[in-house]
A and B are shown apart, each in its own frame.
Chain A
């Protein structure tokens, strides 16, 4: 059985744990602790190491889903988990402060994974903001990184259907990159 390893990253409160729970076919392994920083996000608990879930794409393919903590102080977990990942689903809560800048910041942080497999962005809580955001994110990304193609979706992190679209977009991207990688390396020689 072939496997993909996909990371879920993004700021605290974006819905990473919820999204993995919406997708996973196994009981999710969570590492939640009492959230003592209510100013950063008003929620009872926060992920401090990782979330882990699994989903089968078909009979021959499995995707391992790893969620990383949102807070920068846990960035050693980002490094550890990014080492074996092929791509990243970046979730950003659209109703947070400066969400566009946050998205770009995280894209830069996980750019090695863009080059390895891909990044897709899911905007959560987009129904709580008045403007059509996707264009704004796409334009900001194009301005900041003109040669980079990152799909942006609005999603409900609780929705299996929404998250499946996001995940399959990324898996397709990863497989495409893996398929053309030998050709590109032959051309480079």
Chain B
């Protein structure tokens, strides 16, 4: 019997490594979650005040809605999602070749561009980590 993605030790350990790296890359990180695209939290860092399961479910819905908009408007593949609010922003990127999404919340101390770069770099690093044996 295969292990479900969010309980798979490989995803958990390499996800922890990648999210740890994101913390070093972006000091304005408030919370980050690696989640399955159907909304299960795999690993998360920082932000003890957040409900990790709820955050993962909401990130999953947001990602799917953004993908649907891109599809509906025939814009090609959706590359990332940004939710920008007064006191911070959420950046979401898919992890290529895996049914995973990285969703990270940053404070308003960082620019969206900086946060996006950090999130994309982390997703790429995670992809590399997952490809390694």
Contact = CB atoms under 8 A, between A and B. Distances in A.
Contact of A31 (B6, B36, B61): B61
Contacts of B67: 31
Contact of B38 (A48, A50, A77): A48
A30 B39 CA distance: 16
A29 interface: yes
Contact of B4 (A37, A50, A71): A37
Q: Which of A33, A50, A71, A77 has the most CB of B within 10 A?
A: A33
Contact of A36 (B4, B62, B64, B65): B4
Contact of A30 (B36, B60, B68, B99): B68
Band of interface residues on B:
20 to 34
Contacts of A35: 38
Given A37-B38, A73-B53, A48 B64 contact: yes
Given A48-B64, A49-B65, A34 B38 contact: yes
A46 interface: yes
Nearest to A38: B4
Contacts of B49: none
Interface in A66-82: 69, 71, 73-74, 76-77
B68 A36 contact: no
Contacts of A37: 4, 38, 40
Interface residues of A, number: 21
A37 B8 CA distance: 12
A34 B36 CA distance: 8
A32 interface: yes
A29 B72 contact: yes
Given A48-B39, A73-B39, A74-B39, A33 B54 contact: no
A90 to B, nearest CB: 21
Contact of A77 (B36, B61, B63): B61
Contacts of B6: 36
Interface in B11-46: 36-40
Interface of A: 29-39, 46, 48-50, 69, 71, 73-74, 76-77
Q: Which 10 A-B pairs have the closest CB atoms?
A: A31-B64, A49-B61, A33-B37, A34-B99, A36-B5, A33-B38, A73-B57, A49-B64, A48-B64, A36-B36
19 contacts: A29-B68, A29-B72, A31-B61, A33-B36, A33-B37, A34-B36, A34-B99, A35-B38, A36-B6, A36-B38, A48-B38, A49-B60, A49-B62, A49-B68, A69-B61, A73-B53, A73-B54, A76-B57, A76-B61
Given A31-B64, A34-B38, 8 more contacts: A31-B61, A33-B36, A33-B63, A34-B37, A36-B37, A37-B4, A39-B4, A49-B60
